[in-house]
Structures are given as structure tokens and as C-alpha cells.
Structure 1
Amino acid sequence: MAFKTRIQRPAEAKPWYGELPVESLYTMGIAGEKFFRTLKDKGKIIGARCEKCNYVYVPPKMYCERCFESIEKMVDVGLTGTLTSFTLVYTDIDGNPLPKPEMVGLIQLDGASTNLFHRLGECAMDDLYIDLRVEAVLKPAKQRTGSINDIKYFKPSKKKRPINRSRKTVDRDRKP
């Protein structure tokens, strides 16, 4: 049976043994490069603001997923935010057990409309709750490499939520 021949009966299908070597190089793109370079060089977290719908993406994107407009404006979203969800992680990305569970959470930074997934630290699991104010703890400037791990973790913050938020937030804040 030739490779392009259509199988008429499923019983004719035969397995193919072997390996397919797959190599890929992850590129962060234009928006990702700006995000990580700003994090590394300035110790700031930036987002991409859509001029049409005022939605702010963190990490930044080059187009708005809501209205499909091109995004060029990058804005500082600050280092503080609100914990919107949290959990314990017991395995690494490959499914291997971690030496000890890690606390992770979704953080909506004060100037962002989206959530950022990251580690939580300087607290116990019992100290966490939805709407907890948190702030980013960055690595020292000389240790930053331009990766998401330049943010060591987010810790509970004593800083208050901004009173006047002039941004559009996640769907729960939208008016019908």
C-alpha cells in the first residue's frame, strides 16, 4: 500500500515504528522580547494596551484577542496586584514529583486586564485568599537573565488597591 493511498478498511492500517526527531527553538517574538528586556534591565513589568478597547495584556501580545486590532503601545502595569486564584503544585512540567510542593497563583496586576501565573512566596498556604494584595519580588539586577524567573515570586503586600482604576478588567468587571 502506498503512502498516499486511502485506507478503505481500518484493519489495513499498520503501525509505524521508529522515532521522529523534533527540535524547535522557542522565540519570544517582538512583544515577548520587550517584556523580558524591560523586566531584566529596568525591573518593571509591562503590558500591551489595545488602543481600541483599552484591554491590557500581560505578558504583552502584538494583537488584541478581543477586537483583533494591532497593539503597539506598551505600558507599565506595576509590581503589585490581586491574587485571583491559587493552588499547590506537586509535580514539575515533566510530571516528576517536586521535592516539596510549590504555591502558585494567578495574579491580576493593577494595570493589567489579564492574569499572570506565577509562584507565591514569603507566606503559608493558610495565609492565602482570593483578593489578597500581592507584590512581585524580583531577583537582584545583576542576577536577572531576561526570563519570567527574574520574578522570584509574589508575596503578600500591605499596599492598598488603587481607588480609581482607569482600565478595563477581566470579564467579571464588564457591564452587559
Structure 2
Amino acid sequence: MNGRSWKFILVGSLVLNVFLVGAIAGGTYQWFATHGSTTAAAVAQQRALRFAAETLSPERQQAFIDGLRSARREGRQYAREGREGRREVLRLLAAPQLDRAALDAALARTRTADTTLRAQVESSVADFAATLTPEERVQFAESLKLRGQWREPQPPAHPASQSGG
């Protein structure tokens, strides 16, 4: 081999090594990004109302989940009406001519269905809370602060970054 072929081999090896290092770094980044989002998704899922009883005994947790299932099962009709109402609202908004009266009526039907479903779920939560001891109710209330529609808003991440004047 002459000097020129060694240069081609060295340049080719250098290009291949840079490609491999980039692929390994990219793969590592993707793995950490995916792993981190899975953890975030798990935390987000635990904000669902069904996790509000997790600080209580397993029997109480199951009773709460059963109550929620029952309320949601009884409210399927309202959930379906809400979904259909939202589809109707979108259809009316996309129409060439806006029919304001029909849009208002569809919004009212959707709001009524959503409110009725929410009332059923909230009632099942209240029924469950009525079965708890005062100590369990305190635990349950603290857990509700983190989950469901009773969740308290998170404080700002950097209070110093918000200027007062």
C-alpha cells in the first residue's frame, strides 16, 4: 500500500468512528428521554381520581374504585351525550354558515351532560367519604389535593423570576 491509500483508510476510519460515536450518543439520549417520559407519564397517571384513596387500606381503596366504576357505569349515557355534543359543536363551527342558535343549543346539551356526569362522580366520592373514619377522611382529603378535579395548583417553579413591579 502506498501513502495515499493509508490516508483514505485513516479518513474512512475517522468518519466511521465519528458516525458510531454519534449513534451511541443519540441512542443514549433517546433512551434517557424515553425513560424519563415514562416516569413522568406514571406520575401523571397517579393524578387520576382513582388514586385518591391510595393512602388508605387496600379494602378502602377497592371500595373507592368500585364506587367510581359504578358512578361512571351509571353515567355512560351522559359521557356519550357529552362526546356527541362536542362532535356536534365542532361540526357546527366548521360549517360554511355559522348557526349561532344551533351552536348555543349544542353547547348547552354538552354542558348539561358533562355537569350531570361530574355530579354523579362527585356524589360517589362523597358517599365513599361518608364511610370513612375522621382520620381516614383527613388522609383522603390530603390525597384529593393531589388528584382529580380537587387538585390544588402547583406553585410557580421560580417565584423570584416573577417581578412585582
Q: Does TM, scored on the shorter chain, surpass 0.5?
A: no
Question: Under a length normalisation based on structure 2, what TM-score does the superposition of the two structures give?
Answer: 0.19
Higher relative contact order (CA 8 A, sep 6+): 2
Would you tell me which structure has more helix in proportion to its own residues? 2
Bigger strand fraction: 1
* Higher Rg of the two aligned structures: 2
Q: What TM-score does the superposition give when structure 1 sets the normalisation length? A: 0.18
